[in-house]
């Protein structure tokens, strides 16, 4: 593997971890009243981040630049998500399934 491949693997792993942690935290705060589509979206994002983390070791290849950019975009969305469970909007939405605006 070249140096560029190692850089791509490292960046992709960091972005995948940056996606996986907020997704796990958000999924942990969900209740059965959380809309199914929201639960499905977060679970799918988590599975994709976990797969992106395992790809270099399981398939024995470096991720492409497009895969790294996609993982970076997902990490940015997950980290920059302003709907945290400590905020009133998400806390009310997760419990009742309705927005309290």
Higher per-residue confidence, 53 vs 92: 53
Summarised one tens digit per residue, pLDDT across range 32-79 is 888 888 889 889 999 999 999 998 888 888 888 899 999 899 888 888
| pTM attached to this predicted model | 0.73
Domains of the chain by residue range? 3-96
Contacts of 85 (CB under 8 A, 6+ apart): 25, 26, 29, 91, 94
d(CA 30, CA 36): 10
Mean pLDDT of 68-94: 70
């Amino acid at each position: 593997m070249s140096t560029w491949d190692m850089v791509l693997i490292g960046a992709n792993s960091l972005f995948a971890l940056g996606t996986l942690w907020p997704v796990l935290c958000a999924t942990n705060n969900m209740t059965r009243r959380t809309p199914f589509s929201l639960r499905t979206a977060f679970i799918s994002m988590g599975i994709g981040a976990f797969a992106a983390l395992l790809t270099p070791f399981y398939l024995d290849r470096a991720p492409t630049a497009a895969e790294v950019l996609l993982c970076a975009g997902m990490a940015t969305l997950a980290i920059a998500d302003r709907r945290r469970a400590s905020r009133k909007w998400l806390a009310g939405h997760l419990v009742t399934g309705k927005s309290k605006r």
